[in-house]
Protein backbone atom coordinates (compact mmCIF):
# COMPACT_ATOMS: atom_id res chain seq x y z
CA UNK A 1 0.00 0.00 0.00
CA UNK A 2 1.41 3.35 -0.97
CA UNK A 3 1.67 6.09 1.61
CA UNK A 4 -0.14 9.37 0.99
CA UNK A 5 1.61 12.69 1.43
CA UNK A 6 0.86 14.53 4.69
CA UNK A 7 -1.88 17.14 4.49
CA UNK A 8 0.61 19.93 5.21
CA UNK A 9 2.91 18.92 2.32
CA UNK A 10 2.95 21.81 -0.18
CA UNK A 11 2.29 19.39 -3.07
CA UNK A 12 -0.84 18.06 -1.37
CA UNK A 13 -2.05 21.59 -0.68
CA UNK A 14 -1.43 22.58 -4.31
CA UNK A 15 -3.20 19.46 -5.63
CA UNK A 16 -6.18 20.09 -3.35
CA UNK A 17 -6.32 23.72 -4.49
CA UNK A 18 -6.19 22.52 -8.11
CA UNK A 19 -9.26 20.30 -7.55
CA UNK A 20 -11.21 23.03 -5.75
CA UNK A 21 -10.44 25.57 -8.49
CA UNK A 22 -11.36 23.02 -11.17
CA UNK A 23 -14.70 22.30 -9.46
CA UNK A 24 -15.44 26.03 -9.48
CA UNK A 25 -14.72 26.27 -13.22
CA UNK A 26 -17.03 23.33 -13.93
CA UNK A 27 -19.82 24.68 -11.70
CA UNK A 28 -19.54 28.09 -13.37
CA UNK A 29 -19.44 26.36 -16.77
CA UNK A 30 -16.20 28.10 -17.69
CA UNK A 31 -15.19 25.24 -19.94
CA UNK A 32 -12.54 27.06 -21.99
CA UNK A 33 -10.68 27.97 -18.79
CA UNK A 34 -11.13 24.36 -17.62
CA UNK A 35 -9.44 23.09 -20.80
CA UNK A 36 -6.47 25.34 -19.99
CA UNK A 37 -5.88 23.32 -16.79
CA UNK A 38 -5.02 20.23 -18.88
CA UNK A 39 -1.91 19.00 -20.62
CA UNK A 40 -2.00 18.63 -24.39
CA UNK A 41 -1.73 14.84 -24.01
CA UNK A 42 -4.61 14.53 -21.48
CA UNK A 43 -6.41 11.20 -21.23
CA UNK A 44 -9.87 11.48 -19.65
CA UNK A 45 -11.64 8.14 -19.15
CA UNK A 46 -14.70 6.78 -17.39
CA UNK A 47 -14.86 2.98 -17.64
CA UNK A 48 -18.15 1.10 -17.44
CA UNK A 49 -18.52 -0.56 -14.04
CA UNK A 50 -19.69 -4.17 -14.00
CA UNK A 51 -21.07 -5.88 -10.92
CA UNK A 52 -20.64 -9.63 -10.48
CA UNK A 53 -21.15 -12.00 -7.59
CA UNK A 54 -18.02 -13.11 -5.76
CA UNK A 55 -18.71 -16.75 -6.61
CA UNK A 56 -19.24 -16.16 -10.33
CA UNK A 57 -15.70 -17.36 -11.22
CA UNK A 58 -15.07 -14.22 -13.23
CA UNK A 59 -11.58 -12.83 -13.70
CA UNK A 60 -11.86 -9.73 -11.48
CA UNK A 61 -8.74 -8.24 -13.07
CA UNK A 62 -10.84 -7.51 -16.17
CA UNK A 63 -13.22 -5.16 -14.32
CA UNK A 64 -13.59 -2.57 -15.58
CA UNK A 65 -13.14 -4.33 -18.93
CA UNK A 66 -10.68 -2.74 -21.34
CA UNK A 67 -12.45 -0.83 -24.09
CA UNK A 68 -15.74 -0.56 -22.22
CA UNK A 69 -15.89 3.12 -21.41
CA UNK A 70 -18.63 5.70 -21.07
CA UNK A 71 -15.96 7.92 -22.58
CA UNK A 72 -12.26 7.81 -23.35
CA UNK A 73 -11.19 11.26 -24.47
CA UNK A 74 -8.16 13.31 -25.36
CA UNK A 75 -7.62 17.07 -25.58
CA UNK A 76 -9.07 17.25 -29.09
CA UNK A 77 -12.33 15.44 -28.23
CA UNK A 78 -12.73 17.42 -25.00
CA UNK A 79 -12.20 20.69 -26.88
CA UNK A 80 -14.81 19.63 -29.44
CA UNK A 81 -17.32 18.93 -26.67
CA UNK A 82 -16.55 22.32 -25.11
CA UNK A 83 -16.91 24.08 -28.46
CA UNK A 84 -20.28 22.39 -28.99
CA UNK A 85 -21.48 23.71 -25.62
CA UNK A 86 -21.47 27.20 -27.14
CA UNK A 87 -23.75 26.28 -30.04
CA UNK A 88 -27.48 25.77 -30.46
CA UNK A 89 -26.80 22.07 -31.17
CA UNK A 90 -26.26 21.03 -27.56
CA UNK A 91 -29.83 19.88 -26.92
CA UNK A 92 -28.85 17.81 -23.88
CA UNK A 93 -27.74 21.02 -22.15
CA UNK A 94 -30.33 23.53 -23.34
CA UNK A 95 -31.16 25.06 -20.98
CA UNK A 96 -27.85 24.47 -19.19
CA UNK A 97 -27.86 22.26 -16.11
CA UNK A 98 -27.26 23.74 -12.69
CA UNK A 99 -24.21 21.92 -11.36
CA UNK A 100 -22.39 21.54 -8.08
CA UNK A 101 -19.23 19.41 -7.89
CA UNK A 102 -18.42 18.36 -4.31
CA UNK A 103 -14.81 17.15 -4.01
CA UNK A 104 -13.66 15.34 -0.88
CA UNK A 105 -11.36 12.60 0.48
CA UNK A 106 -8.37 14.06 -1.37
CA UNK A 107 -5.21 11.99 -1.02
CA UNK A 108 -1.97 12.79 -2.81
CA UNK A 109 0.89 10.42 -3.63
CA UNK A 110 4.35 10.80 -5.06
CA UNK A 111 4.79 9.37 -8.53
CA UNK A 112 7.73 7.43 -9.91
CA UNK A 113 7.85 10.04 -12.67
CA UNK A 114 9.52 13.32 -11.65
CA UNK A 115 7.21 16.32 -11.73
CA UNK A 116 4.06 14.18 -11.42
CA UNK A 117 1.59 13.61 -8.59
CA UNK A 118 -1.11 10.98 -8.22
CA UNK A 119 -4.24 12.41 -6.65
CA UNK A 120 -7.23 10.39 -5.48
CA UNK A 121 -10.52 12.09 -4.67
CA UNK A 122 -14.21 11.43 -4.25
CA UNK A 123 -16.77 13.49 -6.13
CA UNK A 124 -20.48 13.97 -5.73
CA UNK A 125 -22.14 15.80 -8.61
CA UNK A 126 -25.51 17.47 -8.07
CA UNK A 127 -27.32 18.29 -11.31
CA UNK A 128 -30.61 20.07 -11.80
CA UNK A 129 -32.09 20.50 -15.27
CA UNK A 130 -34.62 23.13 -16.29
CA UNK A 131 -37.97 22.77 -14.57
CA UNK A 132 -37.62 19.02 -14.00
CA UNK A 133 -38.71 18.19 -10.46
CA UNK A 134 -36.15 15.46 -9.93
CA UNK A 135 -32.49 16.36 -9.63
CA UNK A 136 -29.68 13.89 -10.26
CA UNK A 137 -26.75 12.80 -8.13
CA UNK A 138 -23.69 10.99 -9.37
CA UNK A 139 -21.05 9.66 -6.99
CA UNK A 140 -17.61 8.62 -8.16
CA UNK A 141 -14.00 8.14 -7.23
CA UNK A 142 -11.29 9.71 -9.34
CA UNK A 143 -7.62 9.03 -9.84
CA UNK A 144 -5.76 11.91 -11.43
CA UNK A 145 -2.21 12.41 -12.55
CA UNK A 146 -1.06 16.00 -12.27
CA UNK A 147 2.06 17.15 -14.10
CA UNK A 148 4.07 20.23 -13.17
CA UNK A 149 4.20 22.75 -16.04
CA UNK A 150 7.24 24.96 -15.60
CA UNK A 151 6.04 27.28 -18.38
CA UNK A 152 2.92 28.26 -16.46
CA UNK A 153 4.37 27.46 -13.03
CA UNK A 154 1.31 25.34 -12.22
CA UNK A 155 -0.02 21.81 -12.08
CA UNK A 156 -1.89 20.50 -15.12
CA UNK A 157 -4.20 17.52 -15.40
CA UNK A 158 -2.47 14.82 -17.48
CA UNK A 159 -4.84 11.90 -16.79
CA UNK A 160 -8.19 11.36 -15.11
CA UNK A 161 -9.84 8.02 -14.47
CA UNK A 162 -13.39 8.27 -13.15
CA UNK A 163 -14.93 5.29 -11.37
CA UNK A 164 -18.66 5.76 -10.94
CA UNK A 165 -20.17 4.09 -7.88
CA UNK A 166 -23.13 2.61 -9.79
CA UNK A 167 -23.31 0.08 -12.58
CA UNK A 168 -26.42 1.67 -14.08
CA UNK A 169 -26.32 5.45 -14.38
CA UNK A 170 -29.57 7.16 -13.43
CA UNK A 171 -28.64 10.39 -15.12
CA UNK A 172 -30.41 11.32 -18.38
CA UNK A 173 -27.11 11.83 -20.21
CA UNK A 174 -23.41 12.43 -19.67
CA UNK A 175 -23.24 15.87 -21.25
CA UNK A 176 -21.44 17.21 -18.18
CA UNK A 177 -17.81 16.92 -17.10
CA UNK A 178 -16.68 15.18 -13.92
Model confidence pLDDT, tens digit, residues 151-170: 999 999 999 999 999 877 77
Decide: helix, strand or coil at residue 71: strand
Decide: helix, strand or coil at residue 120: strand
In the CATH scheme, what is the code of domain 10-49+63-164?
3.10.450.50
Return the CA Rg of the chain.
Answer: 17
pLDDT, position 61 = 47
Give pLDDT < 50 ranges for the chain.
60-62
Tell if the pTM clears 0.85, that is, is over it: yes
Taking residue 81's Cβ as centre, other Cβ atoms within 10 Å add up to 16
Amino acid sequence: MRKSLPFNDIRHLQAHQFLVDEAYLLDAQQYEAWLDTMTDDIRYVMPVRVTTARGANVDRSLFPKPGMDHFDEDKYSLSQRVARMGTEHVWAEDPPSRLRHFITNVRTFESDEPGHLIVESAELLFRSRGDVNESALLSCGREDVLRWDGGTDSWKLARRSIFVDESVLRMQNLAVFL
